[in-house]
Amino acid sequence: MPQGRPRIVVPGKMSQRVLDRLPATFDTVFVDAADPALVTADMASGVTGIAVQGKIPTDFMDAFPSLEIIANFGVGYDGVDAGHAAKRGVVVTNTPDVLTEEVADTAIGLLLNTVRRFPAAEQWLRQGRWAKEGAFALSPLSLRGRTVGLYGLGRIGLGIARRLESFNVSIAYHTRTPRDGLAYTHYPTLKGMAEAVDTIIVIVPGTESTRRTVNAEVLQALGPQGVLINVGRGTTVDEAALADALQRGVIAAAGLDVFENEPHVPDALLALPNTSLLPHVGSASQATRDAMADLVVDNLVAWFETGAALTPVAETPFKRKTA
């Protein structure tokens, strides 16, 4: 194992707070992208950790034979192949909990924006149309009397559910197995839940098992008063099917904070008046992003100083091997 201060590589974009904190404890190496062609022989032999915000391919991971830990900025870690890391004995960490409340707040805000059309109403005022043309049109939808189905009920899903309770709406959820001690109705299939509710909030990880599971069949089941909200991952929703459903009135409206090919948003969704679209800002407050950045660095520090990461992902529950 390389001697001296641990060397951490940072590929591409990273939170400035992470960059500011790393040099106090680590030798830090920066590369423009997670490209193995950018890895020099000296870098390859010396690096024992990666701090990443985004995706790293497995061949970049494999360019470092002494790699011990990958600290991921974000609760979602679909950009890191944790299974591949596990086979190598490399621990992967993420940043759960510190962003739960912020994302849950965003989900509720996006839901209200979508059903009540608040962004469009604000533009009506800002453009002078209230004074010139009169009152903004009544919103055809309301949160009153809705039944909300949560697709996923982890930390953030539970945070959203707690907030929804104060709105006096009915709450249901779809997960592979029901959770004990909850009064919410569980549905074993997504389609079954879609048939029973008129609003779906997506908050599942972006994995192959969830890829485009919100498809034309599910949207058809949701129905003409249906509202879809996505604050999870863009890959979960079939965007072409969603645009078609919105255009044809198969569902009523959609609010999206995430997209399949970010930062690119399909023109078909941009053109629709019954969408509320945000540029992936679910956790984007300064306070929350600072807390996420601190957890990235704190995971690295804990790993090398105590031999155990603070928040390892489920696939890599490892302790550090000492010489």
- Look at residue 2 and tell me whether its pLDDT is greater than 60: no
Per the annotation, the verdict on 262 as an active-site residue is yes
Q: From the candidates 211, 280, 315, 320, which is the catalytic residue?
A: 280
Per the annotation, the verdict on 212 as an active-site residue is no
- Look at residue 1 and tell me whether its pLDDT is greater than 80: no
Picking from 277, 271, 274, the residue whose alpha carbon sits closest to that of residue 258 is: 277
Q: Is 244 exposed, middle or buried (0-12, 13-18, 19+ CB in 10 A)?
A: middle
Q: Give the separation between CA 8 and CA 101, rounded to whole angstroms.
A: 30
Q: Which two tokens stand for residue 269?
A: 């969704």
User: Are residues 28 and 133 located together in one domain of the fold?
Assistant: no
User: Are residues 268 and 190 located together in one domain of the fold?
Assistant: yes
User: Are residues 170 and 205 located together in one domain of the fold?
Assistant: yes
* pLDDT tens for each residue of 46-90: 999 999 999 999 999 999 999 999 999 999 999 999 999 999 999
Say how many C-beta atoms besides its own lie within 10 A of residue 305's C-beta: 11
Query: Is residue 320 a part of any domain in this protein?
Result: no
Query: Is residue 318 a part of any domain in this protein?
Result: no
* pLDDT tens for each residue of 80-138: 999 999 999 999 999 999 999 999 999 999 999 999 999 999 999 999 999 999 999 99
Query: Is residue 240 a part of any domain in this protein?
Result: yes
Number of domains in the chain: 2
* pLDDT tens for each residue of 281-295: 999 999 999 999 999
Q: From the candidates 68, 233, 239, 260, which is the catalytic residue?
A: 233
User: Are residues 199 and 109 located together in one domain of the fold?
Assistant: yes
Query: Is residue 192 a part of any domain in this protein?
Result: yes
Higher pLDDT, 247 or 3: 247
Picking from 128, 144, 286, the residue whose alpha carbon sits closest to that of residue 227 is: 144
Q: Which residues contact 15 (CB under 8 A, 6 or more apart)?
A: 53, 73, 289, 292, 293, 296
Q: Which residues contact 41 (CB under 8 A, 6 or more apart)?
A: none
The reported pTM is 0.93
Q: What is the pLDDT of residue 3?
A: 55
User: Are residues 33 and 124 located together in one domain of the fold?
Assistant: no
User: Are residues 75 and 105 located together in one domain of the fold?
Assistant: no
Q: What is the pLDDT of residue 4?
A: 83
Q: From the candidates 122, 165, 262, 305, which is the catalytic residue?
A: 262
User: Are residues 140 and 199 located together in one domain of the fold?
Assistant: yes
* pLDDT tens for each residue of 233-255: 999 999 999 999 999 999 999 99
- Percent of the chain's residues with pLDDT above 70: 99
User: Are residues 81 and 136 located together in one domain of the fold?
Assistant: no
User: Are residues 73 and 139 located together in one domain of the fold?
Assistant: no
User: Are residues 72 and 144 located together in one domain of the fold?
Assistant: no
Picking from 306, 296, 323, 298, the residue whose alpha carbon sits closest to that of residue 51 is: 296
Mean of pLDDT over the chain: 96
Q: Give the separation between CA 315 and CA 85, rounded to whole angstroms.
A: 9
User: Are residues 267 and 251 located together in one domain of the fold?
Assistant: yes
Strand partners, 47: 7
User: Are residues 119 and 194 located together in one domain of the fold?
Assistant: yes
Give residue 121's domain range: 100-277
**Strand 91-93 and strand 170-174: pairing?**
unpaired
Picking from 303, 297, 246, 238, the residue whose alpha carbon sits closest to that of residue 273 is: 246
For residue 201, what is the domain's CATH number?
A: 3.40.50.720
Query: Is residue 197 a part of any domain in this protein?
Result: yes
Per the annotation, the verdict on 186 as an active-site residue is no
